[in-house]
Amino acid sequence: MDAQTRRVVAVTGANRGLGLLTVRALLERGDEVIAHHRTDSPELDALREKFGERLHPVRGDLTEETTAQAVTERAHALGRLHAVVHNAGIAKDQPLVRMPVEDWDEVIRVNLRSAFLVTKHAVRMMMRKRYGRLVYVSSLSAVVGNAGQTAYAASKAGLHGLSQATAQEYARYGIRTVVVAPGLLDTGLAHALPDSVARAKADRSLLGMGSAESVAETVAFLAGPGADNINATVVHSDGGIAY
């Protein structure tokens, strides 16, 4: 594929877990990827060595508007931005009554403010091209809640509202949005859970704990042209929840 015709996809929170796997899936499909990361990542460096100039790292704190601008400036340099996958997120789990206000604010800033900022700047570029895909990585916690995850669940649920409103505002410009809501995955934040808690969460799914690689392939598909008729919806990648 010619360098000028490759799809360009930006992925936030690309230095580990599902974000890193999504970057790899997109690169393997032949896309150019702008990979936002806040911390060092030897794995991202390894992908850079393997795929060369098709991977464009952008480092910074995405809760600051200058970092969101830097992501789209890299896209401007490439001349196009087909899709954004917003995956950046953190969790600070504890019962609501014991949660410091500072922890609540940080989770909302990282998980939701950053989504607003990257969307704001990406949409401006997509409007001019009259095409764009916005894929927000949420969580099952946003849909059914989860004890001890009030800030995380609230921030991820906010992505659903952001996606719906953005879809209505910008559909006429060819911009489509979708939310992916995974269940418990075998990577990332799940590793911070006690084994007993992780098992209990996995048991809610008919298929048990999910494969992050499989979800990354789903995200990559939703960022691609095959999903152009999918809009303003939530894709549940949770193995089927057994209530």
Note whether residue 193 is domain-resident.
yes
Cα–Cα distance, 78 to 146 (Å, whole number): 41
Mean pLDDT of 226-234: 97
Q: Is the pLDDT of residue 174 over 60?
A: yes
Side-by-side strand order, sheet with 175-182 = 55-59, 32-37, 8-11, 83-86, 132-137, 175-182, 233-237
Note whether residue 23 is domain-resident.
yes
Mean pLDDT of 234-240: 89
Lowest mean pLDDT: which of 15-19, 169-173, 182-186? 182-186
For 73, counting Cβ atoms within 10 Å of its Cβ (0-12 exposed, 13-18 middle, 19+ buried), the class is middle
- pLDDT value for 201: 63
Q: How many domains does the chain have?
A: 1
Lowest mean pLDDT: which of 24-38, 116-130, 226-240? 226-240
Q: Are 185 and 209 in contact (CB under 8 A)?
A: yes
Backbone φ and ψ for 181, nearest 5 degrees, come out as -115, 90
Active site (catalytic) residues: 152
Between these two residues, 148 and 206, which has the higher pLDDT value? 148
Confidence of residue 211 (pLDDT cuts 50, 70, 90): confident
Cα–Cα distance, 95 to 98 (Å, whole number): 6
Between these two residues, 239 and 16, which has the higher pLDDT value? 16
- pLDDT value for 192: 55
Note whether residue 240 is domain-resident.
no
Mean pLDDT of 135-142: 94
- pLDDT value for 36: 98
Cα–Cα distance, 24 to 208 (Å, whole number): 24
Confidence of residue 198 (pLDDT cuts 50, 70, 90): low
- pLDDT value for 145: 86
Note whether residue 70 is domain-resident.
yes
- pLDDT value for 54: 98
Task: Report the CATH number at residue 161.
Answer: 3.40.50.720
Q: Is the pLDDT of residue 169 over 70?
A: yes
Q: Is the pLDDT of residue 190 over 70?
A: no
Note whether residue 122 is domain-resident.
yes
- pLDDT value for 235: 96
- pLDDT tens for each residue of 139-148: 988 998 888 9
Note whether residue 20 is domain-resident.
yes
Between these two residues, 104 and 200, which has the higher pLDDT value? 104
- pLDDT tens for each residue of 39-82: 999 999 999 999 999 999 999 999 999 999 999 999 999 999 99
- pLDDT value for 217: 97
Residue 137 domain boundaries: 8-235
Note whether residue 1 is domain-resident.
no
Cα–Cα distance, 223 to 235 (Å, whole number): 13
Do you know the residue count of the chain?
243
Note whether residue 150 is domain-resident.
yes
- pLDDT value for 146: 82
